[in-house]
Structure 1
């Protein structure tokens, strides 16, 4: 056995900090404000989800959507990036972009919004978040009653936007359109975003 191998075998495994070990019933949405978690940690089904490094596409697509929304936003609404949304006792995801009612901004040190204050959530899909962004998070957003959901996929460096609207009878989302070069909608308000502008960012 070589010295290098012995060193690897003798190396003690790294221990998780105490706060990272969930209680038997899982973490709650309120726990995120008291635990020393890294920035942009999410809570899904009572478990902590840590943020991975973001790609250039993810950053640019988020910026493109934020700026596009702001150009068309009615006065009673606001657009926010990377703010968590409390959907239930053990559900506090952080959408990449959301549109909220203006009165939802209640204090400068606010860390989250209630689902009832959110009109639209947007997720830009990353390789590490495909399952969450395509399946679990839309399910949670729909069950919480958020009326509109957009999922953005990377297609050769260009954003493709999948637009969903809530069916209140089933509390699930229905796909209403797939947009490649231009995102032109009349709901939740008049929106017209040139998706090809990502090339100039």
Structure 2
């Protein structure tokens, strides 16, 4: 595959975005692109984010609303926002709960990964390996305290897999006493919360 040289890759363009320089693109090099798809940055390469179904977006929005209603300071909740792991790695979790202390919302493009308290991914057919393996490994390595993986089961009911960070190994472990939530989600992290999961699909 052709690779752009550093001299010709000061900025990604609509013509060269698929051919990163040897050291990879940075967020600052690609953020002004007007590409016909949503994207993330992984190892300095632009990765296309697939389209999602109506149920996926509905569940994402309902989860964000429930979290927003339950949150207390200093936490805030956002969907569709990039989280910057580093200059070459930028992810877009479906929902982010973050500590807003010191963040200027008028100037912040990506939530710093150090501010993320909870990352949530709602699994789609095209994102299974990313959401089950690659993203949680990356979030854990970046010390995000909590991760939820939301799956639609064969009976069209939701299962929420809750993971806690093992700070020593920088890997996630399933929540010990209740690793998978069905019908109702009850947790104290990142703050006390109870959600009727059936209601999230009540549309």
Same fold (TM over 0.5): yes
Residues 64, 195 of structure 1: 8 Å contact kept: no
Once the two structures are overlaid, the 10-residue window that deviates more, 176-185 or 82-91, is 82-91
> Equivalents in 1 of 2:105, 2:76: separation in Å?
14
Equivalent residue runs for 1:170-189 within 5 Å = 170-176=169-175, 177-189=179-191
Query: Measured at CA, do residues 174 and 63 of structure 1 come closer, stay the same or move farther in structure 2, by a change above 3 Å?
Result: same
3-state DSSP class of the match of 1:123? strand
Partner of residue 12, structure 1: none
Once the two structures are overlaid, the 10-residue window that deviates more, 135-144 or 50-59, is 50-59
Residues 99, 119 of structure 1: 8 Å contact kept: yes
Once the two structures are overlaid, the 10-residue window that deviates more, 133-142 or 27-36, is 27-36
Q: Which of the pair is proportionally richer in helix? A: 1
Partner of residue 151, structure 2: 153
Partner of residue 200, structure 2: 198
Match of 2:70 among 65, 69, 72: 72
Question: Which protein, 1 or 2, shows the higher relative CO under an 8 Å CA cutoff with sep ≥ 6?
Answer: 1
Match of 2:15 among 8, 17, 20: 17
Partner of residue 110, structure 2: 112
Match of 1:53 among 51, 54, 58: 51
Whether 2:142 is the aligned partner of 1:144: answer: yes
Please identify the structure whose Cα radius of gyration is greater: 1
Partner of residue 163, structure 1: 162
Query: Measured at CA, do residues 112 and 197 of structure 1 come closer, stay the same or move farther in structure 2, by a change above 3 Å?
Result: same
Report how far residue 157 of structure 1 moved: 2.4
Report how far residue 104 of structure 1 moved: 5.3
Report how far residue 67 of structure 1 moved: 1.4
**Structure 2: gaps of 5 or more residues:** 1-13
- Could you report, residue by residue, the CA deviation over 1:45-79 in whole angstroms, capped at 9, with x for unpaired residues? 22211122210121111012111111210121100
Residues 99, 121 of structure 1: 8 Å contact kept: yes
Q: TM-score, normalised by structure 1?
A: 0.86
Provide the aligned length of Structure 1 versus Structure 2: 186
- Could you report, residue by residue, the CA deviation over 1:167-190 in whole angstroms, capped at 9, with x for unpaired residues? 001000001110011000112210
- Runs (4+) of structure 1 moved beyond 4 Å? none
**Structure 1: gaps of 5 or more residues:** 1-15
Residues 96, 116 of structure 2: 8 Å contact kept: yes
Partner of residue 128, structure 2: 130
Task: Output the aligned Cα RMSD.
Answer: 1.7
Partner of residue 39, structure 2: 41
